[in-house]
Structure 1
């Protein structure tokens, strides 16, 4: 049985009553935390989720899969199941990169796959936007910095970072370096801070790599990485361990003159 503390009552009191009842019904304190388990590829198998419902019909376009060594790039118009349902009605072509995953392929394998895909797609970079959520937000932020630093720069038009992981240098042994939201929401529902760090350890087994901007975009010290950066939307959740990271990155981009919109989801 897990001895991980339940979500603090002060946090539960801030939730919608129906959602609070759902959280309590899952009895998370009785379930083993990911960071208490041995890694297995079977952990990638997720349970079924509710159907998101139908959307406005759109013209069906072509789909083409480009196979490149160990990964592929799917290019399709948004119809049916698509990689990013958040932009299903944006009437744009979506490229979703099947990048290599850790721990079988640790940093920077997945990031390099995304970068190669962007280079391949950038025949007309004036029409390319990049989006990613959580760990994908980390990869998206790092790729956009690479695009700004490349020679010549790849002039992207937009980046959307949804509850992104912006820092990878935190340690479970040194809480003094944790962000305010990591401390305040340490034991919140999946993932907890320790589970987040468990994921991080699988992706970044080398401690030295965790301080590189490609792994921690918030640690980017080269101002050129921000000079060609596109307008940015950063979305964070109010009661989320990652909230402070997104807010801090928004401040950093703003300080470098990047147009930023920060949205706190409540």
Structure 2
């Protein structure tokens, strides 16, 4: 028994102030796990609700007051149709939840300012559920959302009544941006009802790669941590040129297979992965759109927003 207790206190992996994993399998997360309930926001009028899609996957849906712009008519055909944004939270694949106060406040604001229905996906976290669990959960959620497009069979009234699935987009930050990229690549094979993704927004995406880039000098310790974290969350990885963490690696699928025409990449100038995001944005712009194109002059429309 004494040996078991000692083992439970022995640390196997740690990123300071973020996560600590013990050899016993116990995990301590230092932030991002405290949920706030779904509600109607008094300041913006945005309503939110939670839906369980499967035992492993749930979502929080945000409906802005713009959805009621057509009045109080209960006829779904008279209700205002809004863009649909599927959002994947960040946290290095091992931190946060879709229900914590940071993402709840941010997505409440985004829903009202964008006038869009936002579906925030709560996916399983590593190390308990290593990558690719997050990708599989995200795909399940995306297919569920798309199933509400006419003449779909989805049973969520906020999506069925108010969603305009010709304006479906994906977004995420950090590992959530990584997930959004992979969902856009996977969707090239099709979504229910022929739904297409109009665009993706990647905010300081969690991409790595072999060979040092200048932005890693912003914080060498953090640069080492993000590499170590990737190896922890994806124990089956081949390394930093694994196409799951480096979409520009040799052998990674070409970005022209991405099932969208618009890509927004936002990078933070002091972030250690800043230059990886810049390189991704440049590649996305340089490759032509895939099937069903429509970008400017046959190319994908890419916008890169650096921080000021």
What is the TM-score with the length of structure 1 in the denominator? 0.70
Question: Contact 1:34 / 1:195 at 8 angstroms: preserved in 2?
Answer: no
Q: In structure 2, do the counterparts of structure 1 residues 223 and 248 end up closer, same or farther at CA, with 3 Å as the change threshold?
A: closer
TM-superposed deviation, 1:259: 0.5
Alignment of 1:186-265 (within 5 A): 186-187=219-220, 192-208=222-238, 211-219=241-249, 220-222=252-254, 224-226=256-258, 228-256=259-287, 257-265=299-307
Residue 83 of structure 2 is matched in structure 1 by: none
Residues paired across the two proteins, number: 217
TM-superposed deviation, 1:187: 3.2
- The whole-number CA distance in structure 2 between the counterparts of 1:35 and 1:62 is 30
Residue 138 of structure 1 is matched in structure 2 by: 178
Q: In structure 2, do the counterparts of structure 1 residues 253 and 59 end up closer, same or farther at CA, with 3 Å as the change threshold?
A: same
State yes or no: 1:179 paired with 2:213: yes
Question: Contact 2:121 / 2:141 at 8 angstroms: preserved in 1?
Answer: yes
Backbone CA RMSD of aligned residues: 3.2
TM-superposed deviation, 1:199: 1.7
TM-superposed deviation, 1:33: 5.3
Question: Contact 2:206 / 2:245 at 8 angstroms: preserved in 1?
Answer: no
Kindly provide the CA deviation profile for residues 64-103 of structure 1, in whole angstroms up to 9, marking residues without a partner as x: 4134121212222258934635624112111111100011
- The whole-number CA distance in structure 2 between the counterparts of 1:86 and 1:180 is 34
In structure 1, the gaps of 5 or more residues are 1-31, 49-54, 171-176
State yes or no: 1:121 paired with 2:145: yes
Give the SS at the match of 1:208. coil
Residue 295 of structure 2 is matched in structure 1 by: none
State yes or no: 1:165 paired with 2:197: no
In structure 2, the gaps of 5 or more residues are 1-13, 35-40, 66-100, 150-164, 288-298
State yes or no: 1:96 paired with 2:137: no
- The whole-number CA distance in structure 1 between the counterparts of 2:168 and 2:305 is 22
TM-superposed deviation, 1:63: 2.5
Give the SS at the match of 1:146. helix
What is the TM-score with the length of structure 2 in the denominator? 0.61
Kindly provide the CA deviation profile for residues 165-213 of structure 1, in whole angstroms up to 9, marking residues without a partner as x: 123x54xxxxxx122212x21337xxx1112112212211123275443
- The whole-number CA distance in structure 1 between the counterparts of 2:244 and 2:126 is 15
1:76 to 44, 47, 62: 62
Say which structure, 1 or 2, has more relative contact order (CA 8 Å, 6+ apart): 1
Alignment of 1:20-59 (within 5 A): 34=16, 38-39=20-21, 41-45=27-31, 57-59=43-45
- The whole-number CA distance in structure 1 between the counterparts of 2:181 and 2:33 is 29
Q: Which has the higher strand share?
A: 2
